[in-house]
Amino acid sequence: MVVTLKSNIQERQLNDFIQWLNDQAIEAKIIRGVHTTILGLVGDTAQLDINLIRQVSIVEDVVRVQEPYKKANRKFHPLDTLAPVGPFSIGAGNFHVISGPCSVESEKQIETVAARVKAAGATLLRGGAFKPRTSPYSFQGLRAEGLDLLRHARRRTGMPIVTEIMNTSHIPLFEDVDVIQVGARNMQNFELLKELGHLDKPILLKRGLSNTVEELLMSAEYILAGGNEKVILCERGIRTFETATRNTLDLSAIPLIKRLSHLPVIVDPSHAAGLSWMVEPLSLAAVAAGADGLIIEVHNDPEHALSDGPQSLTPDQFDALMPKVKAMAQFMGRRIEE
Amino acid sequence: MVVTLKSNIQERQLNDFIQWLNDQAIEAKIIRGVHTTILGLVGDTAQLDINLIRQVSIVEDVVRVQEPYKKANRKFHPLDTLAPVGPFSIGAGNFHVISGPCSVESEKQIETVAARVKAAGATLLRGGAFKPRTSPYSFQGLRAEGLDLLRHARRRTGMPIVTEIMNTSHIPLFEDVDVIQVGARNMQNFELLKELGHLDKPILLKRGLSNTVEELLMSAEYILAGGNEKVILCERGIRTFETATRNTLDLSAIPLIKRLSHLPVIVDPSHAAGLSWMVEPLSLAAVAAGADGLIIEVHNDPEHALSDGPQSLTPDQFDALMPKVKAMAQFMGRRIEE
Amino acid sequence: MVVTLKSNIQERQLNDFIQWLNDQAIEAKIIRGVHTTILGLVGDTAQLDINLIRQVSIVEDVVRVQEPYKKANRKFHPLDTLAPVGPFSIGAGNFHVISGPCSVESEKQIETVAARVKAAGATLLRGGAFKPRTSPYSFQGLRAEGLDLLRHARRRTGMPIVTEIMNTSHIPLFEDVDVIQVGARNMQNFELLKELGHLDKPILLKRGLSNTVEELLMSAEYILAGGNEKVILCERGIRTFETATRNTLDLSAIPLIKRLSHLPVIVDPSHAAGLSWMVEPLSLAAVAAGADGLIIEVHNDPEHALSDGPQSLTPDQFDALMPKVKAMAQFMGRRIEE
Amino acid sequence: MVVTLKSNIQERQLNDFIQWLNDQAIEAKIIRGVHTTILGLVGDTAQLDINLIRQVSIVEDVVRVQEPYKKANRKFHPLDTLAPVGPFSIGAGNFHVISGPCSVESEKQIETVAARVKAAGATLLRGGAFKPRTSPYSFQGLRAEGLDLLRHARRRTGMPIVTEIMNTSHIPLFEDVDVIQVGARNMQNFELLKELGHLDKPILLKRGLSNTVEELLMSAEYILAGGNEKVILCERGIRTFETATRNTLDLSAIPLIKRLSHLPVIVDPSHAAGLSWMVEPLSLAAVAAGADGLIIEVHNDPEHALSDGPQSLTPDQFDALMPKVKAMAQFMGRRIEE
């Protein structure tokens, strides 16, 4: 951590500040420049609250030169982390496609879609039971009943299930869900992250619409710090000024996360652009950028889906996409678990 | 709602779509242009799920020409809403300053600050008991104990208290809190909003870092739709590319909200810029833009505050600020309730 | 174009407005909704100034349902455009890599780099002679001398040259440059675009840091409207809140441009992230997303480059990259012109 | 400047780098932390190209702790700069309103508007002769003829004139223009800025739609470095994700610029929101935030203006606004020059 001091400070103030740092086992090395004096802080600065420093009256600015996350940091865990999901493992060279409808709507719907996406090569089944919707007047999901329908589809197909949680009070309902998803809007719902850190279950953590990769890793750190090391990250588009796509898929996040962290990372091309015709090029680009997997929406009847239709593929479109995705994954040297 | 159709569609498809709309009591008027055919939908389109329309195969795009919120909409409630808080009322020409420390830290701290900000003219006391922090290693607030200390300060000063909630499971703890704050990161925590909609208590709803004003009004709609009409909105800065300030205060949101909605709106100049020296100009500008109040952080000992120091004023700085704020409020024709 | 009218307007005002539209050969169809009346405008609305409509006192809002660009629009030019450059053609399934140093620095430097990138498979040589720099104290390029050195390198290697123009007054100097580049900061330098529209020479038009794809196509329209149909678009990253990369590469722009326009589009992975280690994954992802080519910075001595070093590859790194890029281009079914 | 070094570097590499810095009169102080070694650079680092440092192979990252601008920096010029314009001076406590139509359209139009805005209290006359338009099919301004009409209006009213330049080749036409405006899209047209630096004439430099305040000051530095010290800055809204306003007015830029620089700064509330009904609240807020002036669009016939109508006030609306603006300026302790 590097602290820039204000000009014209008194020596006594500086000494007090350095003493206060020393009390916290942090050493401060002084560098006096022409116009500016800076302090280089040495010690376990990741534990320091940067705001604690910023508020000191003689401090002009503070800059971290070290990442604020530890358990998610590749520096301290050089090897890729594998997240086990049922018979599969996500990360470390394995490639998986998670697929299913945006919302679970009926037994027939989820079973039909599950059978089709499994046949096409998807290994995990996704489906929303609790749905975060901008409008209180929109369909909010089948909730507990939706979870039952997912379990039913799992029994039929053998596919592990992935579904989103929105509130800590629902955790008991998710006990036998295989992968719990934290949606973009809850990426900084810290109370939820803390609770999920106490589970022994993979968590699929989606990047918030306007969160940096560092913030995503800090949210992962909440889960890891609680003891749950099975975290899978997901890039799903960020909010920018561009209006032609719903969000802007940030594929540079993939190599960035791979460099900064040991956690697996997948991409959601369906929600990123919000346009079904863009799923194919974005899927291929995501694999080429190094993603460990994809999560793709498929609906058996997109014209009458109750939510998020425009971004969903039909099963036939998914059948056409999967061979291309698999070929790209193989071209990129990934193992396709089946 | 205006629907743009794809080119080269079949008449039968169009008829089916129009029939489906009619079944939902929506009339569709056809306009055939040179290159494009559009449909103007007439009826209660606010209840329609825009995605339901977008996913129809013959649809190119859909645009709302009417706001998707109803209870928050000034068109249907032309008069300003007043939110009653203890002996005060927020909105409709009344002006209030809410003040206090970022975090409640000790009995001595909260009482000292409460006494000082009350003496300077603040009418409501703020203080964080549950703190949303980016890092799991940062101070997370005194939680239930912090709420107790706030109640204690209320007994001493008579000031109604405002404090943030982060999880539905904490609602019982907030039973006698005067104003429950929903922080920026929870603006789209819809499960929380739904529960708060069932309370009979003012909710201070902060705009999310990357949420539009329309989304803020939709989140207010969640609370209003549940039956709780005591919603106070708060602009606190949005995330942009500018890095010199922590966030970019969007003061155009004030006249925009005033035009679109009947709800009161206040401004948080402390969190917006994250710089204590900017609180004064931003406070004055917020009042000039039409804000119904301000929420300003004050700390008795900013150099040793446990969180968010750089943006806090000292009580002396707050003493110096308040006469200017009050003069500006009077200049703008506001009633200063005391 | 769809016009939403204000409520409570007089019939006479509406009739005047419709008459004024008719005078411009635009027909207006009225749709009266429950709360809102809208007009659907039929005719050559691409020629209409949308602001002309917005300012009419009875108008609440106006929305285009048709693209404002014509010559760049795929609807009116379904086939891909090929931009001929020396012995090559860019677009329509051909794949090219443009490479060279950020700035031309010396005869030795440009010739060394040119020889190396040609040997590795690049077909066009890039190099900056006029350099847009944020600071007046930074190196501004060798200017006219830099153009001479590029011509010299072209004679030696036979590679067509690509270099950036910053001002209309420099156009005579660019007479025998093969491809004139318009940089991101000049994407809306309309006076420059107009002049380039009168040349018979390919223009490489880079997307501005905060410009939408529609604005990029409108800037292309300036060149096309002048009579120059040889426009090559380039995605090079947009400005977002993320600070870990210099800009955020928007690869969804590739399929979007391909759908909206017939113009070729290439990607600049070097400037997007500003990080040399990210060039490989972003290059592969760009090709997978459908790009017609790449523009990649290579420097023979990155440690002593006078500008933009951190994003440049060494010739050895470029040698290692090119086989992967070519294999990916072939995998995607592109023809590699050599 | 603080340099963070990569881990596992060789001592010889570090010595070479330090020697290279010393050769440029920069001293490097080494701080060895637990995980990271940093260098504090001492000397005239504002002249150093930060990229030159970043590209060194042993460097992980570089951070400035000092502003990269010198002549625009308040640290080296503590007193406010006054820009003289005809009989007036902008900055240092004086308050001015610049007003006029977006585009000059006819002698009658500009004279009518000039007479009206002068009568209402505006001191400078604005009007666009060269217009930057997104579409090549939109009205591009009367160009040289528009400048003649402005000069004519100046003779009639005595008001100094402010108008936008788009290209260096037009500089001769602007010889007797009182204030030359550089529009948002040309804020980083560095060739233009350099030429304007050689004039002895006030330059009104508008912030780019997606430029930081630091970049605005760097562009001012281009003009100042050329010898022209008469620079007036202008905040006019930045591009964000919010779509309800055309741009987001960033009023925190006003106190920020005042702290970082000695240059005067004014606000353009008309272009920021693009909504005439928002001009009043944003004007008052801008004055309250500390602006040295406003630039406001007024049109005698907004319903038939050829450009930018929706944001223009009528002369009657401007008459109603000016007393409020003046009262606010007086309330804020500004001298109103007349």
DSSP letters for A28-91: EEEEE-SS-EEEEEES-GGGS-HHHHHTSTTEEEEE-SS-S-STTBTTT--SPP-EEETTEEEB
| C8 or C90, higher pLDDT | C90
* Contact yes or no for D46 and C137 at CB 8 A: yes
Which residues are CB-neighbours of D241 under 8 A, at least 6 positions away? A210, A239, A240, A241, B210, B212, B238
Cβ pair B306, B264 in contact under 8 A: no
Q: Report how far residue C30's alpha carbon sits from residue B80's, in angstroms, rounded to the nearest whole number.
A: 33
Tokens 């020596």 identify what position?
A11
What value does the mean pLDDT take over residues C175-201? 97
pLDDT mean for each 10 residues of chain B (338 residues): 83 85 84 79 77 78 82 92 95 96 93 96 97 90 96 97 97 97 97 97 97 97 97 97 95 97 97 93 98 94 54 91 98 94
**Residue A103 per-residue DSSP state:** B
Give the CA dihedral B161, B166, B168, B172, nearest 10 degrees: -30
Cβ pair D298, D314 in contact under 8 A: yes
- In chain C, the residue whose alpha carbon lies closest to the alpha carbon of A330 is C331
Which residues are CB-neighbours of C108 under 8 A, at least 6 positions away? none
Q: Report how far residue B193's alpha carbon sits from residue B182's, in angstroms, rounded to the nearest whole number.
A: 8
Reading phi first (left if > 0) and then psi (alpha if -120 to 50, else beta), residue B301 is in beta
Cβ pair C88, C97 in contact under 8 A: no
Q: Report how far residue C41's alpha carbon sits from residue C38's, in angstroms, rounded to the nearest whole number.
A: 10
Exposure string (b/e) for A35-61, b if CB count within 10 Å is 16 or more? ebbbbbbbbebbebbbbbbbbbebbeb
Each residue of C9-65: pLDDT tens digit? 888 888 888 888 888 888 888 888 777 788 888 877 777 777 778 777 788 888 777
Please report residues of B whose CB lies closer than 8 A to that of C75: 35
ipTM over 0.85: yes
Please report residues of B whose CB lies closer than 8 A to that of D284: 288-289, 332
Q: Report how far residue C81's alpha carbon sits from residue B248's, in angstroms, rounded to the nearest whole number.
A: 42
The mean pLDDT of chain A is 91
Both structure tokens of A180 = 């719990």
Residues of C contacting chain B (CB within 8 angstroms):
2, 4, 29, 31-36, 38, 40-45, 60-61, 63, 65-66, 75, 210, 239-241, 243
Exposure string (b/e) for C249-266, b if CB count within 10 Å is 16 or more? bbbbbbbbbbebbbbbbb
DSSP structure string for C32-59: E-SS-EEEEEES-GGGS-HHHHHTSTTE
Task: Determine the residue type at C7.
Answer: S
State the smallest CA–CA distance between residue D130 and chain C in angstroms: 10
pTM as predicted: 0.92
Please report residues of A whose CB lies closer than 8 A to that of B135: 49, 68-69, 218, 221
Q: Check residue B81 and give its pLDDT.
A: 95
By CB atoms closer than 10 A (0-12, 13-18, 19+), residue D314 is middle
Tokens 């496609």 identify what position?
A97
**Listed residue (C162, B104, C287, C110) closest to B112, CA to CA:** B104
Q: Check residue C58 and give its pLDDT.
A: 85
Q: Report how far residue A297's alpha carbon sits from residue A295's, in angstroms, rounded to the nearest whole number.
A: 7
Q: Check residue D252 and give its pLDDT.
A: 98
State the smallest CA–CA distance between residue B279 and chain D in angstroms: 10
Q: What percent of chain D has pLDDT over 90?
A: 72
Q: Report how far residue A262's alpha carbon sits from residue D295's, in angstroms, rounded to the nearest whole number.
A: 53
Cβ pair D233, D205 in contact under 8 A: yes
Q: Check residue C310 and give its pLDDT.
A: 67
Please report residues of C whose CB lies closer than 8 A to that of D308: 51, 55
Residues of A contacting chain C (CB within 8 angstroms):
210, 212-214, 238, 240-245, 248-252, 254-256, 259, 272-273, 277-278, 281-282, 284-290, 327-328, 331-332
Please report residues of A whose CB lies closer than 8 A to that of C285: 251, 285-286, 288-289
Residue D64 pLDDT more than 80?
Answer: no
Each residue of B155-206: pLDDT tens digit? 999 999 999 999 999 999 999 999 999 999 999 999 999 999 999 999 999 9
**Listed residue (D255, D247, D181, D176) closest to D213, CA to CA:** D255
Q: Check residue B308 and give its pLDDT.
A: 46
Give the strands of the sheet with A59-63, arranged side by side: A27-32, A37-42, A2-5, A59-63
Cβ pair A253, A207 in contact under 8 A: yes
Q: Report how far residue D197's alpha carbon sits from residue D229's, in angstroms, rounded to the nearest whole number.
A: 8
Q: Report how far residue A217's alpha carbon sits from residue A231's, in angstroms, rounded to the nearest whole number.
A: 10
Least confident of A293-297, C156-160, D41-45: D41-45
- In chain C, the residue whose alpha carbon lies closest to the alpha carbon of D138 is C49
Q: Check residue B5 and give its pLDDT.
A: 87
All partners of chain D with 3 or more CB pairs under 8 angstroms? A, B, C
Q: Check residue A209 and give its pLDDT.
A: 95
Both structure tokens of B148 = 């107790």
What value does the mean pLDDT take over residues A318-338? 96
Cβ pair C131, C103 in contact under 8 A: yes
Both structure tokens of A28 = 């401060």
CA distances from B100 to B125, B132, C157 (A): 6, 17, 71
A-D Cβ pairs (cutoff 8 Å, strict)? 67
Q: Report how far residue A330's alpha carbon sits from residue A311's, in angstroms, rounded to the nearest whole number.
A: 26
Predicted confidence band at C338 (pLDDT cuts at 50, 70, 90)? confident
* Contact yes or no for D135 and C221 at CB 8 A: yes
Residue C135 pLDDT more than 60?
Answer: yes
State the smallest CA–CA distance between residue C96 and chain B in angstroms: 33
Of residues D190, D221, D307, nearest to C51 (C-beta):
D307
